[in-house]
Amino acid sequence: MTNAECAAGQSPSDVLAAWGGPAHVSPQIEPFAAGGSLLERLQKNPFLMAPMAGVSDAAYRLMARAGGAALAYTEMVSCAGLHYGGEKSWELVDPAEAEPDLAVQLFGTKPELFREAAAGVAQRLGGKLALIDINMACPVPKVTKKGEGSALLDNPALASELVRACIEETDGRVPVTVKIRRGRRMGEEVAPEFARAMEAAGASAIAIHGRFADQLYHGRADWGAITRVADAVNVPVIGSGDVTDARAAARMVSQTGAAAAMIARGSYGNPWIFSDARRVLSGENPPQHGARERVAAFRCHVRLLASTGANLRRARSLAGWYLRGMPEAASLRGKAVHCDTLEDYLAVADEAERLASV
């Protein structure tokens, strides 16, 4: 039996309509703000769901958007994979039926493959393609040893060529942005100068993660690097790094000069972080999200996985994130790692709700 059959034939829209309300997420997803410059569009809602390898599938993007994210990104997609990998690779960039639009993040080093990927993505997604982002930030050795990801920080000439290739292939109709880090090695910040080169190549925005590549995800992100990049360029800057809660997201936008904040791990088990951040930015206190709401969100998210045909083993991580801190959380996680079907996960959710009510 397929995951979709387990979900009783429900579409993602059906799932959100039926299960979004109890989870306190929107049953209908607002499109990325239209009209005006990219800066003006970001200012209408400056909180974005970051690209996350192995996480940013359609179900995750839908929960983030239903939770208030202005835009969600695919996980980073290899241009070489799109060229050589066939339909399975292309499925990584396909929006779900309920997604009004999305941002596609590409990585690689060959301008000709970027041209092909940009053209193919633009044709495949049509009006649902909000922007193309080029990953120049990934610090993982298996990526950087090929000159990809954050290794491009050492090669601004090639990085510029990749930006121009995407812009030329889409005739400038689609914003092309880049995501970078402070630099490759601790103490050697190149981000402001590199950002200026990307702006000169035509990038519509710069996303900057406030760590050096060799820090991986350890230590603290330096938000001062975001300010320095914002001071160096005239295009919008999107901040990233250590956005762990709604208040941090609002601070990043209000204190660094960033036009928007990109939220990654702070969204684990917390799809409301985006709407809560907007509340904080407007001077309100965000609501508390209790056990019943979190269990309801877990149920909704697992049903979205099923409705999009995803591998339901992904829900094992979701259980750990949504049920963290709840009664018997360790036992519930232990049961979740042995789940295979939608019904298995829903039974764990029922038990979590019962334990929280005792």
Is 138 catalytic? The answer is yes
Residues 6+ apart with CB under 8 A from 62: 12, 16, 29, 96, 98, 99, 304, 308
Burial 74-94 (b: 16+ CB within 10 A, else e): bbbbbbbbbbeeeeebbebbb
Q: Residue 3 phi/psi, 5° resolution?
A: -60, -40
d(CA 5, CA 1): 6
Catalytic residue among 6, 79, 138, 339: 138
Q: Residue 82 phi/psi, 5° resolution?
A: -65, -35
Active site residues: 138
